[in-house]
Amino acid sequence: MSKARMSPLRSGFVHLALAAYTVIALFPVVLTIMNSLKDKNAIFRTPLALPTAETFSLIGYTTVLKQGDFIGYFQNSLIVTVVSIFFALLFGAMAAFALSEYRFRGNTLLGLYLAIGIMIPIRLGTVAILQGMVAAGLVNTLTALILVYTAQGLPLAIFILSEFMRTVSDDLKNAGRIDGLSEYAIFFRLVLPLVRPAMATVAVFTMIPIWNDLWFPLILAPGEATKTVTLGSQVFIGQFVTNWNAVLAALSLAIFPVLILYVIFSRQLIRGITAGAVK
Amino acid sequence: MSSAISSEDSIQISARPRRWHILVFLLPAFIVYSAVMILPLIETLRLSLFNTVDGQSTFVGLANFQVLFGDERWAADFWRALKNNFIFFTIHMLVQNPLGIALAAMLSIPKLRLAAFYRTAIFLPTVLSFVIVGFIWKLILSPIWGITPFFMDLVGLKAFFGPWLGKPGSALITVSLISVWQNVGIPMMLIYAALLNIPDEVIEAAECDGITGWSQFWKIKLPLILPAIGMVSILTFVGNFNAFDLIYTVQGALAGPDGATDILGTLLYRTFFGFQLQLGDRSMGATIATVMFLIILAGVSLYLFGIQRRVRRYQF
């Protein structure tokens, strides 16, 4: 593979441009975390300096942990995200298996029906969703959020997983059938383990919008006991606008888990978005 | 797939039993999806044709839409939100997508050192929530903190600094650019993947013909990634006409200053959920949601039937 060599000058420019944009992308995040570890004077006097021994202070974090129930918010977000992903993956994989494995009347039509949700956002039905949740007595419960996010995650999960399930060899499944495995056993014991990488990709994809959503927590579960981290920090920061230590600490607390997960899963995520083009 | 069916047929050749397992596999997803997503959507569309008359829900035909488009209490807000939403979308198309293409083009240069690092770093803002992004930028742009004036001073532009988020003339552009900063990772990644999928032979053939550098990008690569650009555009369109979180975080539910950053999402929220003194109005909320649905449906249909079918796809 001979590629035309890039001149050092051109490659220098490319690096300069990419590095410049990298700084633009990272700077606000770094700035926030850096200043959350300083005392109030230092935040204003030397916002661009790293915290030193004199300026280091955790006052913001102590305020946040004392005033807002951030541990509770985290717990809520975690429960909602994990349970929704679990059901979206389980139900999605089951439906994807049925659509890709069996031929039955209405298969294509059902596939199209389940794909509507990829393009049409679930938010547009909020008026009636709220009405339904009020009628079912689910307002201010995590169940309401879990139901909504499961439904929101299903279309893409079914779409991606059925593509992958088509690639699982028929011979394997037929061998299982000859050995007397039920269709359920074939799905759970043969097919599911084989599409695990695709499931991981779907899980990462589904997770980000659920964790970050503000709309549904705001409308369906604004109560103190059911606030998610996104809504919790939104409300908290709104109340503490003038307390810069607290605001920066709350922001950092909201960033950390996402940042850690992102560092761990970024390869998986990027490979998923680029459909495997990036190795 | 066909062999699976035939084997099953041969095993159970007499009186084919109902294949209950198909139903069991499909039912959970179908029920949750229909009950929480499709039925509420249909119900919302239906509600837009009803309104409360004398305390009773009555069919009013298209009267709600007439009110929304023409009544003085509603029309001004609605048309302003629609116009702002189009501006919001236009800025994304003009800034976010070309920037994404440029970054992807640079990242896809073969054997570029540090490419994985740049890629991961530039995509980071995309995984943060709108709430975090909104507040961070609110702080950075705040005249109180003085970060932005400091940097503008470095390049001698301090005189041009202003409280951009607070001025009606610049607020919408500023919010749009914050959103661009956050979301540029998506077009970058999708187009990056498309660029990597161009086979080496095509590039080598171009090089043999002496087409390199800029002209190679414009003449060879760009036509090949047009389907990806189309895809990115429709994703941007749907995302923008459904946006809410960032504006709510940065400018509040009233989408200030003076409604200058009000888009359909924030208008929908205020209308159906109510805000401060304004009471929630379910019918009008459903009407706005229906308008948003029709706009998104029109965009998606235009893409599926107009653009996606016409764009030339090359099979490698």
Q: Where residue B315 falls among pLDDT bands split at 50, 70, 90?
A: low
Could you tell me if residue A87 is inside a domain? yes
Could you tell me if residue A98 is inside a domain? yes
Q: Which pLDDT tens digit goes with each residue over B138-194? A: 989 988 887 888 888 888 888 788 888 888 889 999 999 999 999 999 999 989 989
Q: Is the ipTM of this complex over 0.95?
A: no
CB atoms within 10 A of CB B205: 12
Tokens of A51: 């915290």
Q: Which pLDDT tens digit goes with each residue over B15-33? A: 566 788 999 999 999 999 9
* One domain for residues A13 and A93: no
pLDDT at B12: 47
* One domain for residues B245 and B127: yes
What is the SS3 assignment for A114-148? HHHHHHCCHHHHHHHHHHHHHHCCCCCCHHHHHHH
Is a pLDDT exceeding 90 seen at residue A185?
yes
* One domain for residues B58 and B69: no
Is a pLDDT exceeding 90 seen at residue A30?
yes
Look up the domain containing B57 and give its range. 18-62
Is a pLDDT exceeding 70 seen at residue B2?
no
* One domain for residues B173 and B161: yes
Share of chain A above pLDDT 70, in %: 96
Q: Which pLDDT tens digit goes with each residue over B284-305? A: 999 999 999 999 999 999 998 8
Pick from A95-99, A197-201, B248-252, B259-263: least confident: A197-201
Q: Where residue A278 falls among pLDDT bands split at 50, 70, 90?
A: low
What is the number of structural domains in chain B?
Answer: 2
Q: Which of residues 93-132 of A touch B (CB under 8 A)?
A: 94-95, 97-104, 110, 113-114, 116-117, 119-132
Is a pLDDT exceeding 50 seen at residue B11?
no
Helix residue spans in B144-281 (DSSP H): 147-154, 168-183, 185-196, 200-208, 213-216, 222-224, 226-240, 245-251, 264-273
* One domain for residues A80 and A119: yes
| B chain contacts of residue A113, beta-carbon cutoff 8 Å | 38
Look up the domain containing A199 and give its range. 75-221
Q: Indicate the DSSP class of residue B48.
A: T
* One domain for residues A141 and A97: yes
Question: Rg for chain B (alpha carbons), in Å?
Answer: 25
* One domain for residues A41 and A98: no
Q: Which of A97, A127, A191 to mutate to test the interface with B (most CBs of B within 10 A)?
A: A127
pLDDT at B29: 96
Q: Which of residues 214-243 of B touch A (CB under 8 A)?
A: 234, 238, 242
Could you tell me if residue B315 is inside a domain? no
Say yes or no for a CB contact (<8 Å) between B292 and A124.
Answer: yes
* One domain for residues B45 and B161: no
What is the SS3 assignment for A229-271? HHHHHHHHHHHCCCCHHHHHHHHHHHHHHHHHHHHHHHHHHHH
* One domain for residues A52 and A88: no
Q: Indicate the DSSP class of residue B58.
A: E
Looking at A221, A243, A274, the residue that finishes a domain is: A221
Q: Where residue A264 falls among pLDDT bands split at 50, 70, 90?
A: confident
Q: Does A192 touch chain B (CB under 8 A)?
A: no
Q: Does A163 touch chain B (CB under 8 A)?
A: no
Q: Which of residues 37-76 of A touch B (CB under 8 A)?
A: 43-44, 47-48
Tokens of B196: 């990597």
Q: Which helix (H) or strand (E) holds B125?
A: helix B115-127
* One domain for residues A25 and A146: no
* One domain for residues B144 and B81: yes
Helix residue spans in chain A (DSSP H): 8-36, 40-45, 59-67, 70-101, 107-119, 126-135, 142-165, 170-178, 183-185, 192-194, 196-212, 215-220, 229-239, 244-273
B14 Cβ contact partners less than 8 Å away, ≥ 6 residues apart: none
Q: Which pLDDT tens digit goes with each residue over A227-239? A: 999 999 888 888 8
pTM for the model stands at 0.89
pLDDT at B177: 95
CA distance A245 to B243: 29
Say yes or no for a CB contact (<8 Å) between B112 and A11.
Answer: yes
Provide the residue type at A140 as one letter.
N
Asked whether the beta carbons of B235 and B97 are under 8 A apart, the reply is: no
Is a pLDDT exceeding 80 seen at residue A184?
yes
Share of chain B above pLDDT 90, in %: 51
Q: Indicate the DSSP class of residue A189.
A: I
CB atoms within 10 A of CB A174: 16
Q: Which of B2, B23, B26, B196 to mutate to test the interface with A (most CBs of A within 10 A)?
A: B26
Q: Does B294 touch chain A (CB under 8 A)?
A: no
